[in-house]
Structure 1
Amino acid sequence: MPRKTFLLISLIALFFSLTACQSEKAKDIPAEKKGVEYYQQKKYRKALPLLKKSADSGNAAALYYLGLMHRQGNGVEKSAGKACQYFLKAAEGGYKEAYLAAGLCYRKGNGFSRDDREAFRWAKKAADETGESGMKDENRRELAVLLGDSYFAGDGTVQDFPKAARWYEKAAELGDTRAQGALAFLYCSGKGVLIDREKAKYWADKAVSRKDDMGEYTLGRLSLLDEPPDMKKAVYWYRKASDQRNPWAQQALGEMYEEGKGVKRDLAKARYYYGLAAKSGMEEMKKALAGFEERHTPKKPA
Structure 2
Amino acid sequence: MTDAETLYQQACKLLDENPNSRQALVWLCQAAEQGHAEAAFEVGMIMLEAEQPDYQAVIAWLEIAAAHKHRYAAYNLLRIRESIMGIAFDRHLPQYVRLAESGLLPAQLKLLEYYADRHDAEAVYWAQQVAGQGHPFGQYFLAMHHHFSDGPDLQRAFELYRQAAEQGLHVAHWQRGKMYRHGIGTPADNTLAAHHLRFAAENGFIAAQTLLADILAEQNHSDALKWYQTAADNGDRQARTALARHYLTGRLTGRDPLQAAKHAKIAAQQHYPEAMQLMGDIYRYGLGIKADAQTAEYYYREAAEQGSLSAYQKLLSDAALHHPEQYGRIKTAALYYQQAEQACRQALVYHQGRGNRAVDYVRARKLYLEAAASGHTEAAFGLGLMYFYGQGVKTDYRQAAYWFEQAAEQGHAEAQYRLARLYYYGQGVAVSLHAACTWLQAAIENGHENPQAFLYLLDKWRQEAGLAPVK
* Both proteins in one fold, TM over 0.5: yes
Q: Which range is displaced more, 116-125 or 233-242?
A: 116-125
Residue of structure 1 in register with 2:438 after alignment: none
Q: Classify the secondary structure of the residue corresponding to 1:211.
A: coil
Shift of 1:150: 4.7
Alignment match of 1:133 (pick from 141, 166, 187): 166
Identity of aligned residues (%): 19
- The CA distance in 1 between the partners of 2:153 and 2:273, in whole Å, is 25
Q: Classify the secondary structure of the residue corresponding to 1:241.
A: helix
Per-residue displacement from partner, 1:202-229 (whole Å, max 9, x unpaired)?
A: 3234334433334423432342218762
Shift of 1:171: 0.7
Shift of 1:169: 0.8
Residue of structure 2 in register with 1:68 after alignment: 113
Residue of structure 2 in register with 1:237 after alignment: 263
User: Aligned runs of 1:36-185 on 2, under 5 Å?
Assistant: 38-39=74-75, 42=79, 48-53=93-98, 64-69=109-114, 80-82=117-119, 84-91=120-127, 95=132, 97-103=137-143, 118=152, 123-128=157-162, 130-135=163-168, 140-152=169-181, 161-185=190-214
Per-residue displacement from partner, 1:8-50 (whole Å, max 9, x unpaired)?
A: xxxxxxxxxxxxxxxxxxxxxxxxx976774467356797324
Q: Is residue 220 of structure 2 the alignment partner of residue 195 of structure 1?
A: yes
Per-residue displacement from partner, 1:37-76 (whole Å, max 9, x unpaired)?
A: 744673567973244357789x9997654122456xxxxx
* Contact 2:201–2:208, Cα closer than 8 Å, also in 1: yes
- The CA distance in 2 between the partners of 1:163 and 1:175, in whole Å, is 19
Which runs of 5 or more structure 2 residues have no equivalent in the other structure? 1-68, 83-88, 328-471
After superposition, the Cα gap between the structure-2 partners of 1:160 and 1:270, relative to the gap in structure 1 and judged at 3 Å, is farther
Q: Which range is displaced more, 160-169 or 147-156?
A: 147-156
Report the AA paired with residue 52 of structure 1. V
After superposition, the Cα gap between the structure-2 partners of 1:40 and 1:214, relative to the gap in structure 1 and judged at 3 Å, is farther
- The CA distance in 1 between the partners of 2:202 and 2:303, in whole Å, is 34
- The CA distance in 1 between the partners of 2:275 and 2:150, in whole Å, is 26
Alignment match of 2:287 (pick from 238, 261, 264): 261
After superposition, the Cα gap between the structure-2 partners of 1:167 and 1:214, relative to the gap in structure 1 and judged at 3 Å, is farther
Q: Classify the secondary structure of the residue corresponding to 2:287.
A: coil
- The CA distance in 2 between the partners of 1:273 and 1:196, in whole Å, is 33
After superposition, the Cα gap between the structure-2 partners of 1:152 and 1:251, relative to the gap in structure 1 and judged at 3 Å, is farther
* Contact 2:158–2:185, Cα closer than 8 Å, also in 1: no
Alignment TM-score, normalising by the size of structure 1: 0.58
- The CA distance in 2 between the partners of 1:220 and 1:242, in whole Å, is 11
Q: Classify the secondary structure of the residue corresponding to 1:169.
A: helix
- The CA distance in 2 between the partners of 1:49 and 1:148, in whole Å, is 39
Alignment TM-score, normalising by the size of structure 2: 0.40
- The CA distance in 2 between the partners of 1:36 and 1:123, in whole Å, is 32
Report the AA paired with residue 237 of structure 1. H
Residue of structure 1 in register with 2:240 after alignment: 216
- The CA distance in 2 between the partners of 1:116 and 1:144, in whole Å, is 23
Which runs of 5 or more structure 1 residues have no equivalent in the other structure? 1-32, 72-79, 108-113, 279-284
- The CA distance in 1 between the partners of 2:319 and 2:160, in whole Å, is 52
After superposition, the Cα gap between the structure-2 partners of 1:106 and 1:219, relative to the gap in structure 1 and judged at 3 Å, is farther
Q: Classify the secondary structure of the residue corresponding to 2:118.
A: helix
- The CA distance in 2 between the partners of 1:143 and 1:92, in whole Å, is 17
- The CA distance in 1 between the partners of 2:253 and 2:171, in whole Å, is 38
- The CA distance in 2 between the partners of 1:132 and 1:211, in whole Å, is 26
Residue of structure 2 in register with 1:12 after alignment: none
How large is the Cα RMSD of the aligned pairs? Answer: 4.4
* Contact 2:143–2:161, Cα closer than 8 Å, also in 1: no
Q: Classify the secondary structure of the residue corresponding to 2:260.
A: helix
Per-residue displacement from partner, 1:77-122 (whole Å, max 9, x unpaired)?
A: xxx225x533333346764642323555799xxxxxx769959666
- The CA distance in 2 between the partners of 1:134 and 1:146, in whole Å, is 14
Residue of structure 2 in register with 1:16 after alignment: none
- The CA distance in 1 between the partners of 2:224 and 2:314, in whole Å, is 30
Q: Which range is displaced more, 162-171 or 96-105?
A: 96-105
* Contact 1:117–1:155, Cα closer than 8 Å, also in 2: no
